[in-house]
Amino acid sequence: MSTAKETASETALSDSQNYFSQELSWLKFNDRVLQEALDPRTPLLERLKFLAIFSSNLDEFFMVRISGLIGQVNAEVNPLSPDGRSPRQQLDAITDRLRPSVTQQHQLFERELRPLLAEKGVCLINYIDLSKDQRFYLQRYFEEGVFPILTPLAIDPSHPFPHMSNLSLNLAVSVKDPESGKENFARVKVPNSLPRFIVLPEELRQHAGKSCVWVGIPLEQLIAHNLEMLFPGMAIQEFGFFRITRDADLEVQEYEADDLLVAIEQELRTHRLGGSAVRLEVQKEMPDSLRKPLVEELGLTNNNVYEIEGLLNLKDLFAFMGLPLPALKDAPWTAVIPARLKAVNEYETESAFQNKDTVVDIFSVIREGDLLVHHPYESFTASVQRFISQAAYDPQVLAIKMTLYRTSGDSPIVRSLITAAENGKQVAVLVELKARFDEANNITWARSLEGAGVNVVYGVAGLKTHTKIALVIRQEAGKLKRYAHIGTGNYNPKTAGLYTDLGLLTCCEELGADLTDLANYLTGYSRQTAYRKLLVAPVNLRDRMNELIQRETKNARSDKPARIIAKMNALTDVEIIKKLYEASQAGVEIDLIVRGMCCLRPGLKGISETIRVVSIVGRYLEHSRIFYFHNEGAETEEIYIGSADWMTRNLDRRVEAVTPIENLKLKDELKNILDVLLADNLQAWDLHSNGDYIQRQPAKGEAARCAQKIFMERASKAAK
């Protein structure tokens, strides 16, 4: 029976004032991304990259988060967020919070970065500023390479308003028939099959009286200044640029689908153009006569309209990273080969096993002791990818089982799995078809794998399979031995060079047995409820995390040392947050490294005084998850890594795997990683109790400490 004091405490911890909005917290994360573009210390082309990331993030936010809230409003479903807001209140707050950031983003590009680029000889110019020779060249380019692709669409009683595809860039045009005097509305889509920026040839790269290394104009401006060719005999009255964002969240009823792959393929086809519109971006100068019919026909209100100064869709600024201007970019980084794996990578896998005497195989290295790999500082190709590729050719390997949530378009991991199947090995792969925005890519890989004889499954009904696991079964001395990789990131060599992630390579028998049970749960019929070491969502992960937090709470109440450090992408689960608040009330020292959304409010008197929250945003996307619990001392402390954030979806609606790290040397490595991250004073942002994030600056006389740079330096030193 609970006491009155406990009831009062529970009521206080449930008070909406003690929580931040998940959506507004995400917007603040994206503002920290924008800050990297604003920061003059960031190399110039990298500043453009961060503007592009800000835009790309925002597109996804509207397609998923905003569309979901709009759906709740339309359905008159009004669940309250942890901070006590209804869906309508959340939308209003998002709009108020977002508009200044969007304005700041575009003003930064138009007023600061574009001129800075021009100073460096990279000139993105407007059509009206072209010279006569440049216009002549572009006129011919338009006639030969653009005009045949374009399809002007009239909009009148005999031509209904067209369905404009998601994220499409368009021109709205008003034309007048000189004979009848009637004005008509038309739309021209800017083709995404052409480069967004039309680059002039070397002999025409001059601007404002000086030579440039690159000169280009936006494709939409070239189209706009040649509208007469699209509407011959008509008088062009007005035109304006606009861009549409639509609901892009797939809805598949798994329990009703006989074939999940076919069901998702069909949903992708029907959803290809996007669902209902959720945002309209227009150039600030667009006349009301063009804007108004767009707003009405798309079923939007002025709250859904964002006026843009200058160029729309800054996501296309990614293209500038391809310019051969190393002085305007971060210094290149080549991931190092972990020292223990150097000998493994001195031969070609395809031919190595024909001469076994020369091979140092990765399995013998793992048998010597667990190996922790830290990407992108240590090579994904030389570790995880090598683990799978060697398994594909090794005649002693009998089976490979793994999960694929996201992978690259030209995936060497998938190629190795196909090779393994062709070499007669038993290969089972869970391909998560519901990985948002990668559905089509994963369907392609699933069909390729199936065609090669791989056993492909699509997960557990009602759950996304987000875990990152690979299991290799090898015959050694007449017995079967299991080798495993358990990671925090996807099996994707491209993102492994952009995201910070961790992976454990091990032949621990208990973990191997757990992964076998987990694989059987994913591929067959199983109600596995207990694991030896592995923490698996939605089976035991939430309960064990609660127990670990509560143990620290109990120790603090008994005047024992108590400490929690947790690194993750997002912290939004209310139950976990309450446990952390209770731990703080008991005196547990808690440091949280949360890159993105954080609904926990640190530093509240009597609630979270001992909790500190820091976010690190830098060159690499912080993606690893690490959970540290002091447990009364150095010899008994527990550390875990895995695929799960402390979000309700990860704990309850996804299949996740989190593994303990028990090797003392590896535990020290992880503790050191946490210490370096917590000591960062350049790219770290402290979350305050009022919701503001304040970027750290080195104190007077204090050395600058950038965690990501430190990890690169240490990796280079270790490699030498």
Residue 140 backbone dihedrals phi, psi, to 5 degrees: -65, -40
646: Cα separation from own chain's centroid:
16
The helix (H) or strand (E) run that includes residue 392 is helix 386-393
Question: How many Cβ atoms are within 10 Å of 676's Cβ, its own excluded?
Answer: 16
The three-class DSSP label of residue 99 is helix
418 class by beta-carbon count within 10 Å (0-12 exposed, 13-18 middle, 19+ buried): buried
| Tokens standing for residue 606 | 């009597």
For the ranges 324-338, 352-366, 475-489, 621-635, the lowest mean pLDDT is seen at 352-366
**Span 82-88, average pLDDT:** 93
Using pLDDT thresholds of 50, 70 and 90, give the confidence band for residue 436. Answer: low
Contact 307, 322 (CB under 8 A): no
Using pLDDT thresholds of 50, 70 and 90, give the confidence band for residue 211. Answer: very high
**Span 510-520, average pLDDT:** 95
User: From the candidates 466, 485, 623, 630, which is the catalytic residue?
Assistant: 466
Q: Which residues pair with 622 in a beta bridge?
A: 500
Contact 219, 197 (CB under 8 A): yes
The helix (H) or strand (E) run that includes residue 670 is helix 664-679
Which residue has better confidence, 22 or 451?
22
Q: What is the Cα–Cα distance from 23 to 30, expressed in whole angstroms?
A: 11
Q: Please, what are the domains in the chain?
A: 16-328 (3.30.1840.10), 339-532 (3.30.870.10), 536-719 (3.30.870.10)
Using pLDDT thresholds of 50, 70 and 90, give the confidence band for residue 683. Answer: very high
Query: What confidence tens digit (pLDDT) does each residue in 335-366 have?
Result: 999 999 998 988 776 666 666 655 679 999 99
Instruction: Collect all residues with Cβ–Cβ distance below 8 Å to 521 and sequence separation of at least 6.
Output: 460, 528, 655
For the ranges 268-272, 454-458, 581-585, the lowest mean pLDDT is seen at 268-272
Q: What is the pLDDT of residue 462?
A: 81
Between 44-60 and 87-107, two packed helices, what is the crossing angle to 10 degrees? 160
| Tokens standing for residue 57 | 């993030």
Burial 319-340 (b: 16+ CB within 10 A, else e): ebeebebeebbeeebebbbbeb
Give ∠ CA 284-288-291 in degrees, rounded to 5.
75
Percent of the chain with pLDDT over 70: 91
Contact 266, 438 (CB under 8 A): no
Residue 665 has pLDDT above 60, yes or no: yes
The tally of CA atoms less than 13 A away on the side-chain side of residue 140 is: 7
Tokens 């990152």 locate to: 468
How far CA 444 is from CA of 268, 272, 460, in Å, comes to 13, 16, 20
The verdict on whether 466 is a catalytic residue reads yes
**Span 34-41, average pLDDT:** 97
Using pLDDT thresholds of 50, 70 and 90, give the confidence band for residue 3. Answer: low
Residue 253 has pLDDT above 50, yes or no: no
Q: What is the pLDDT of residue 444?
A: 73
Q: What is the pLDDT of residue 258?
A: 45
| CA dihedral for 378, 384, 389, 391, sign (positive or negative) | positive
The residue among 406, 445, 452 whose CA lies nearest residue 425 is 452
